[in-house]
Amino acid sequence: MTSDSFSSLCDDFYVDMYVNTELELPNERDTVLAFFERIQKQFPTMGCFYRRGNHEYCLEEDRNQGQYRWLSLEADHISSGVVNPSNLDIAYCQHKLVLECMPYMLSVSQLDIDSLDVTFAMDFDCAGNHDEVIAEALLGQSAFNALLELPSAKPIVCSPAMVIALSDDCCTQARCSVESKTSIYEPDRKEEITDEAISLSFTIRRYPSPAEKFDAIKSFEQQCRLAEELMVEKIIPNFVVPLTETIAQKRLR
């Protein structure tokens, strides 16, 4: 399997980047507009600009196209994403442009970066009880499954998540989570959740090391390679395949 085939395994695929800062980002009119205009110059179809709340500004393409780019500035982080890219480079070039522009357009220096995230996310359309699907797909051989052997027991909250360190100094971390969208109050009312999806998110986070200057672009490239490798080696076979197989079986019942 190649990394560019991730989208074929799910209903929606997301490649996102988040820059979390120590200090608040500038929100002056000229600064915000100049930054978004620079991004729009590279990606002219990003023509929808709006403000959400007091200090959140967004620029995005038409969401109705199914494949679209988006970018937002909030008080202390920059978020950049591409939904359903045909290949990973389409997303990476946008994220790199943001990293290249932020030092001189938003005054984000290497000292100001708290952490840098690269996230691959997948949505799986699933009618019915998401918690039951997740439990069946991922917890069948775990200690948690013993609880489901109790009389009349069935899962109503099952959104497992784990964060692990990938380096001795814990500066490189990975987080994997699976989120149910079924309401705890209405787990069996299928008509209420037919438009919802089970979401899987896999993030590689890098914290700057105190011992060296943080190179955001270099770190981003390393994080992307690591995320791709772990998606292929760990996430796809152990999370995605069981989820998709269980969802397919549920549809046949």
Tens digits of per-residue pLDDT, 56-105? 999 999 999 889 999 999 999 999 999 999 999 999 999 999 999 999 99
Sorted by sequence, the CB contacts under 8 Å of residue 68 that are 6+ apart come out as 60, 61, 62, 82, 83, 84
Helices and strands (H and E) in the chain: how many: 5, 9
Contact assessment for residue 152 and residue 223, using Cβ atoms and an 8 Å cutoff: no
Task: Tell me what the pLDDT averaged over the chain comes to.
Answer: 92
Query: Taking the model in full, what pTM does it have?
Result: 0.93
**Nearest Cα residue to 127 out of 3, 1, 251, 224:** 251
| Integer Cα distance of 155 and 140 in angstroms | 12
Q: What pLDDT does 152 receive? A: 87
Give the pLDDT band (50/70/90) at residue 191.
Answer: very low
Strands, E assignment, 75-219? 77-83, 113-125, 161-165, 172-179, 197-206
**Nearest Cα residue to 203 out of 58, 60, 74, 14:** 14
What mean pLDDT do residues 170-191 have? 79
| Integer Cα distance of 175 and 166 in angstroms | 10
Q: What pLDDT does 4 receive? A: 66
| Integer Cα distance of 95 and 221 in angstroms | 10
Question: What domains appear along the chain, each with residue ranges and CATH number?
Answer: 3-252 (3.30.160.110)
